[in-house]
Amino acid sequence: MNQLTQQVLDGHTRAIARAISYVENNHPEKENLIDSLYAHGGNAVVWGLTGPPGSGKSSLLNLILRKERDKGKKIAVVAVDPSSPFSGGAVLGDRLRMQKHAVDPGVFIRSMASRGHLGGVSGAAGDVIKILDAAGFDLIIIETIGVGQTEIDIVEMADIVLLVLVPGLGDEIQALKAGVMEIGDVFIVNKSDRDDAAKVRAEIEYVLHMKTPSELDVPNPVVMTSALENRGIDDLLVQIEQYLAAISQNGLLEQKRKQRIARELKIIISAKVRGRVYRQLKLDERIQNWADAAYNKEVKPYTFINRKLEDLFK
Amino acid sequence: MNQLTQQVLDGHTRAIARAISYVENNHPEKENLIDSLYAHGGNAVVWGLTGPPGSGKSSLLNLILRKERDKGKKIAVVAVDPSSPFSGGAVLGDRLRMQKHAVDPGVFIRSMASRGHLGGVSGAAGDVIKILDAAGFDLIIIETIGVGQTEIDIVEMADIVLLVLVPGLGDEIQALKAGVMEIGDVFIVNKSDRDDAAKVRAEIEYVLHMKTPSELDVPNPVVMTSALENRGIDDLLVQIEQYLAAISQNGLLEQKRKQRIARELKIIISAKVRGRVYRQLKLDERIQNWADAAYNKEVKPYTFINRKLEDLFK
């Protein structure tokens, strides 16, 4: 076993950070590292935390961290941001607010950009989870900033998805809700001190009611919280534990984890095959000529690509 | 030329809708259809419209549609939603508000789910643009609901990206802004009647000021609007036309379009290669066994996949 692997297993913060950088930079040693850590994982519980911007996810997360730390858990937080090279990475007020946890050695906080990962950010997030799991964290929380398809793919890597909703964000939020409802396990109505919080709860319960139950389904808790007034957090954590206990007992957790692994294997296959074919086609050199030809209508896109791939696979 | 192709070229609404369904369902005739339409495109201008939820994109879009229709343009709107099978698709208040345009034969409106497309939704969106372009629309507007990486990928297919921002949506919006700033060409500060609108404008101008200019760069307009009070729309449309004229003249538009085609060709290659490899590996049958083995720590993910791919490519 090499030194970095050993240091990660020992829980050294700087080694963990370096291992994550291997994943983010697709370092040549990445695959060996992940494979050598892999057998040591499987002990952490992974929570996904998502919801529309402005729903107060970060304030909730702060309160959750405090309570779970009091139970003696080692916790890692991975926050996935749509940060960009142009802006030099998002400087998050949210992250700053978490700094009081940054001096606590039992809490590890890391931001990950959602762009620029070979095999997509969900592939990278899967590897980061494996590192943190092997490093001995009891609880790994994946938080997404932004609400979109990529973010949904990421939180689906979790054992349990906490979906934060709030009253009064208007029509577009309703649309987003419709899009993300299916991925939630525990529904949190935050800012529940607001007038129309009960209405949001009723809407969620209505949609849940319409869901076609599957064999292993466990009732989805809907919890009212106010991060601002520090209310409802204890109830939330009880509901989370009960949900996890139920899906652990009935086999749904195992099924979810196997599905996650299946997705991860597919992501690895896709990324590796794509890389290999791009190299064989010398795509980096040629793509601009091909695009020019298509722009000038000299070739038809599908016919052209099919011919190129025929050459490659024959 | 087959009948559907001819009907799309003639601009028949039902034929266009059917052609788009071919793309969405990955119909066996999809590739022939797109290839036969391809030579007839290249005349439409494509606008991307994005921004955080609650920024008033849809109200703006309504006003834009009215003004551009008055100029006699045929317009198509493609709204990409994070809708889901579970919720039966997002029922959008936004879409409903656009119904007054729905009876106008010069406006074609279509929702597209961001999930479940072979090659991802941006691949599908590229093909839908080709259909609408060949069908003779002068202006195609791609609107995204939701803000995330997938949504950024989609609006990057446009000739010009309109990024809508608003005052006072808090920290998380700041983070999102940081993530999406780089993709905007024209910046819209909507709800400019609010107190801190000038501050948002100043922030945008500050970030734009820090941008490293490239050779073909054109100044990015920042426009103040109030969709609610119907203010600033004329100015916005003038700024858009001027920006498009400038990038058309200096070659940036051609460069963008060639880059878009290059991305599309890569997406097609990735999707086709992935499909072929999945079939050769009989992945659908086997993936669950593989995932079980990985779950039980009988195999290491990368070592295992590398061995499977060796077998395939040798």
Instruction: State the average pLDDT over residues A190-208.
Output: 86
Q: Does A178 touch chain B (CB under 8 A)?
A: yes
**Which are the contacts of B222, defined by CB distance < 8 A and separation ≥ 6?**
B187, B189, B201, B204, B205, B208
Residues 43-102 of B with CB under 8 A from A: 52-54, 57-58, 81-87, 89-94
pLDDT average, residue stretch A70-84: 84
Range A194-200 average pLDDT: 86
Say if residue B51's pLDDT is above 90: no
- The ranges assigned to domains in chain A are 40-260, 281-313
Q: Does A138 touch chain B (CB under 8 A)?
A: no
Q: B interface mutation test: which of A91, A172, A308 has the most B CBs within 10 A?
A: A172
pLDDT greater than 80 at residue B279: yes
B265/A287 Cβ within 8 A: yes
pLDDT digits over B21-50, tens only?
A: 999 888 999 999 999 999 999 999 999 998
Q: Contact B82/B90 with Cβ under 8 angstroms?
A: yes
Q: What is the mean pLDDT of residues A29-35?
A: 96
Whether pLDDT at A159 is above 80: yes
Residue to substitute from A37, A149, A283, interface B, most B β-carbons within 10 A:
A149
| pTM of the entire predicted model | 0.81
Band of pLDDT at residue A214, cut at 50, 70 and 90: confident
Note whether A85 contacts B182, CB cutoff 8 Å: yes
Tell me the pLDDT band of A17, cut-offs 50, 70 and 90: very high
Amino acid at A219: P
Residue B146 has its nearest CB partner, among A57, A176, A305, at A176
B114 to chain A, any CB pair closer than 8 A? The answer is yes
pLDDT of A52 > 80? The answer is no
B chain contacts of residue A261, beta-carbon cutoff 8 Å: 291, 294-295, 301
Q: Can you say whether the dihedral through the CA atoms of B206, B210, B211, B217 is positive or negative?
A: positive
The answer to whether the beta carbons of residues A224 and A192 sit under 8 Å apart is: yes
Give B166's pLDDT tier (boundaries 50, 70, 90): confident
pLDDT tens per residue across span A256-280: 999 999 999 998 998 899 888 999 9
Interface check B11 vs A, CB under 8 A:
no
Nearest CA in chain A to B255: A292
Q: Is the pLDDT of residue A88 over 80?
A: no
Q: What's the average model confidence in pLDDT over A46-74?
A: 90
B92 has pLDDT over 50: no
What tokens were used for A164?
């934060």
For chain A, say whether B175 makes contact (Cβ under 8 Å): yes
For chain A, the average pLDDT equals 86
Q: State ipTM.
A: 0.87
CA B161 to chain centre: 9
Decide: residue A66, CB within 10 A, 0-12 exposed, 13-18 middle, 19+ buried.
Answer: middle
Say yes or no for a CB contact (<8 Å) between A269 and B35: no
pLDDT of residue A87: 35
Phi, psi of B197 (to 5 degrees): -60, -40
Confidence of residue B96 (pLDDT cuts 50, 70, 90): very low
Give residue B90's pLDDT.
40
Q: What is the percent of chain A where pLDDT is above 90?
A: 56
pLDDT category, A86, cuts 50, 70, 90? very low
Q: How far is A150 from chain B (nearest CA, A)?
A: 6
- Give the per-residue pLDDT at B54: 74
For B42-250, CATH gives: 3.40.50.300
A251 interface with B at CB cutoff 8 Å? no
Confidence of residue B94 (pLDDT cuts 50, 70, 90): very low
Residue B174: pLDDT band with limits 50, 70, 90: low
Span A40-260 CATH architecture = 3-Layer(aba) Sandwich (3.40)
Average pLDDT over residues A4-32: 95
Please name the residue ranges forming H helices in chain A.
Answer: 3-9, 13-24, 30-38, 57-70, 93-97, 99-102, 120-134, 149-155, 171-180, 197-210, 233-250, 252-280, 283-295, 301-313
HEC per residue, A221-271: CEEECECCCCECHHHHHHHHHHHHHHHHHHCHHHHHHHHHHHHHHHHHHHH
Portion of chain B with pLDDT greater than 70, in percent: 86
Nearest to B175 among A94, A147, A170 (CB): A94
C-beta atoms of A114 and B148 within 8 A: yes
Task: Give the DSSP letter string of B211-274.
Answer: SPPPTT--PPPEEE-BTTTTBSHHHHHHHHHHHHHHHHHHSHHHHHHHHHHHHHHHHHHHHHHH
Interface test with A, best of B55, B273, B285 (most A CBs within 10 A): B273
Reported as a pLDDT band with limits 50, 70 and 90, residue A217 is confident
- Chain A touched by B301 (CB under 8 Å): yes
> Which of A93, A283, A295 has the CB atom closest to B174's CB atom?
A93
Sequence-ordered alpha helix ranges (H) in chain B? 3-9, 13-24, 30-38, 57-70, 93-97, 99-102, 120-134, 149-155, 171-180, 197-210, 233-250, 252-280, 283-295, 301-313
Residue A169: per-residue pLDDT: 64
Q: How far does the CA of residue A198 sit from the closest CA of chain B (Å)?
A: 20
Chain A residues whose beta carbon lies within 8 Å of the beta carbon of residue B150: 148-150
pLDDT at A6 over 50: yes
Chain A residues lying within 8 Å of B270, measured CB to CB: 270, 274
